[in-house]
Amino acid sequence: MPKPTVVLVAIGSNIEPDDNVPAAIRAIDRHSGLELIGISHVYESPAVGHPDQPHFHNAAVKINTLLEPAAVRQALRGIEGNLGRVRTSDKYASRQIDLDIAFFGDQSFELAGNQIPDPDVAIEMYLAAPLADVDPHRIEPTTGLSLADLKEKMMREGTAEVTPVTSNIRRLDTDGRYATDIDGAREETYAPKYEELVSEMLHQLGEDPKREGLVKTPLRVAKAMDFLTSGYSTSLEEVVNDAIFEEDYDEMVIVKDIEFYSLCEHHMLPFFGTAAVGYIPNGRIIGVSKIARIVDLFARRLQVQERLANQVADGLMDVLQPHGVAVVLEASHFCMMMRGVQKQGSSMVSSAMRGTFTDNARTRSEFLELLAH
């Protein structure tokens, strides 16, 4: 199995940085191809190039990834776009967020006109300071100094003004353990805007969000919802990850009793059950665990069961081009069990058939008979 590469990403913002820096880190954390393993302190520094602009907040993250550099850059540009960043020819323009690869393992190369490692790390304290937080022993090749020594040297020489600031981000020590943010005095914060909405919802319900049992509920809800809706932050291609194999096999393949959990889009209440997925190969097969991961990909979104069955079937048709795909889901819905008619013993069965499973009644019957065993 390939070994992941350690990547350091520099982060900057001078448009609503208290919201945009945490939002960017949260988006990186949610990306299926980027494993977040370290988060720096946040530093404030004067804007470069346009001194009349608002000051910047700068941070850095350390990630593990199996992605190639171009794919990491694409993922970061996607996060920038989702936060409203529009890149212009003015490299010093104000921006909602800036996400740049500073180091990519021990490699040295040019990517889309930018040199990696970033040579500006050697001369810009707003880059060196947060990067030293997440990977202090990494060597900056221009100076030959570790990032920690480079940061200390710049501080002694007064290279540039940077000031640690209190920020609404959770911080990971470089060994991966969770910690509070900069001064350790404030409670951990994960997604400030989301947590504020949860607090307001608790208030509307007549609760006191500040009472002991609810103080961390907005944080917990934000983390839980990120996990339960993580299907929005990944793609079919990332889930499959080249686990397609050429194989001269044309008999039916079935994976059944795949547990899944989803959220009904009408009430945002859970529904859960099992999936059975079958396909008839057309010269290609897929790693068996990837079928379960495809089910999870689409289940971890706001859903209706009928659409979920269709999306799983269409996803397999897209990546495999098989003779046919069959999907059967059976699930219990809390929106029916906890409210409305309140029928706790009820369940719903839905199916989606593609290719030969639609065209050939005998093939479809064989699939359904095999599910009964």
Residue 305 designated active-site: yes
The answer to whether 265 is a known catalytic residue is yes
What average pLDDT score do residues 216-234 get? 86
Looking at the structure, do residues 117 and 223 belong to the same domain, yes or no? no
**pLDDT for residue 169:** 54
Query: What pLDDT sits at residue 185?
Result: 34
Does a structural domain hold residue 341? yes
Is residue 32 located within the same domain as residue 137? yes
> Is 333 an active-site residue?
yes
Marked catalytic residue, from 238, 267, 330, 366: 267
Look up 264 and say whether it is catalytic.
yes
The whole-number average pLDDT for the span 253-268 is 96
**Domain range for residue 300?**
233-371
Output 165 or 22, whichever has higher pLDDT: 22
Residue 111 has a CB neighbour count (10 Å cut-off) of: 15
Q: How far is CA 82 from CA 11, 30, 239, in A?
A: 15, 13, 21
**Residue 44 falls in the annotated catalytic set:** no
Helix 147-157 × helix 125-134 angle, to 10°: 140
Catalytic pick among 50, 137, 203, 266:
266
For residue 355, pLDDT beyond 60: yes
**Total Cβ atoms within 10 A of residue 52:** 5
Look over the chain and give the mean of its residue pLDDT values, rounded to a whole number.
88
Is residue 187 in some structural domain?
Answer: no
Active-site hit among 333, 344, 366, 373 = 333
Say what the pLDDT of residue 234 is: 80
Please report the pLDDT score of residue 46 as a whole number. Answer: 87
Give tens-digit pLDDT for 272-307.
Answer: 999 999 999 999 999 999 999 999 999 999 999 999
Q: In one letter, which amino acid is 104?
A: F
Catalytic-role residue among 124, 195, 264, 311? 264
What would the pLDDT profile of 4-39 be if each residue is shown by its tens digit? 999 999 999 999 998 899 889 988 988 878 888 889
Pick the catalytic residue from 196, 265, 306, 321. 265
pLDDT band at 171 (very low <50, low <70, confident <90, very high): very low
Report d(CA 59, CA 212) in Å as an integer: 32
Whether residue 184 is contained in a domain is answered as: no
DSSP structure string for 61-121: EEEEE-S-HHHHHHHHHHHHHHTT----S-TTS--S-EEEEEEETT--EEETTEEES-GGG
Examine residue 58 and state whether it is found in any structural domain, yes or no: yes
Domain of 36, CATH number, reads: 3.30.70.560
Q: What is the mean pLDDT of residues 319-348?
A: 90
Q: What is the pLDDT of residue 177?
A: 32
Q: Which of 35, 53, 238, 335 is catalytic?
A: 335
pLDDT band at 86 (very low <50, low <70, confident <90, very high): confident
